[in-house]
Amino acid sequence: MHNYPYYGGRCCKGYGGYPNTFALIVVLFILLIIVGAAFYC
């Protein structure tokens, strides 16, 4: 349950089955926004 301590276990409580999938999508989405802003600004 605590395989991903850098998320404070919040994703593990909400998504006990596959917390890493949801976290990975969120991180990729944030990185996409940051990279897009860096290239367009």
Residues 17-36 have pLDDT tens digits of 555 677 788 889 999 999 88
Do 4 and 23 form a contact (C-beta atoms < 8 A)?
Answer: yes
Q: Is the pTM of this model over 0.85?
A: no
Q: Nearest 5°: CA angle at 36, between 28 and 18?
A: 10
Do 11 and 19 form a contact (C-beta atoms < 8 A)?
Answer: yes
Distances 34 to 23, 26, 39, 40, 41 between C-alpha atoms, Å: 17, 12, 9, 10, 10
Residues 2-20 have pLDDT tens digits of 454 444 444 445 455 555 6
